[in-house]
Amino acid sequence: MSELEKRIQQIAQVLGQLDDTQVPRNIRSSAKDAIDKWLMNKNKDMDIRLGMTASTLDDIFNDPNLPSHYGPLCLQIQTALESLLNEVR
């Protein structure tokens, strides 16, 4: 496994923390989709995978129903995604 794939796996694990009963179902579903449909989908180009995951995460962060203590987690993931996206370009 490449270093990039290891970092993506770590991001997916952290994003998986949104799969918590304190988080509304629609947000959990969006986070799962971001992981399954985009971040871990090796059939897509890397920049698309990272960009679409970041876009979904932005929607999650801006959802008024997101518990406040998950906001910093979303920002950390967003920062990591942007860093990886800059490396890939």
Which structure tokens are listed for 71?
A: 């906001």
CATH of 3-88, one of 1.20.1440.50, 1.10.150.530, 3.40.50.1970, 2.40.50.140: 1.20.1440.50
Angle at 56 between CA 51 and CA 60, to 5 degrees: 145
Q: How far apart are CA 22 and CA 80, in angstroms?
A: 24
Residues 6+ apart with CB under 8 A from 57: 15, 31, 34, 74, 77, 78, 81
Tell me the pTM.
Answer: 0.93
pLDDT score recorded for residue 88: 87
Residues of the chain scoring pLDDT < 50: none
Question: What is the domain partition of the chain in residue ranges?
Answer: 3-88
pLDDT score recorded for residue 89: 83
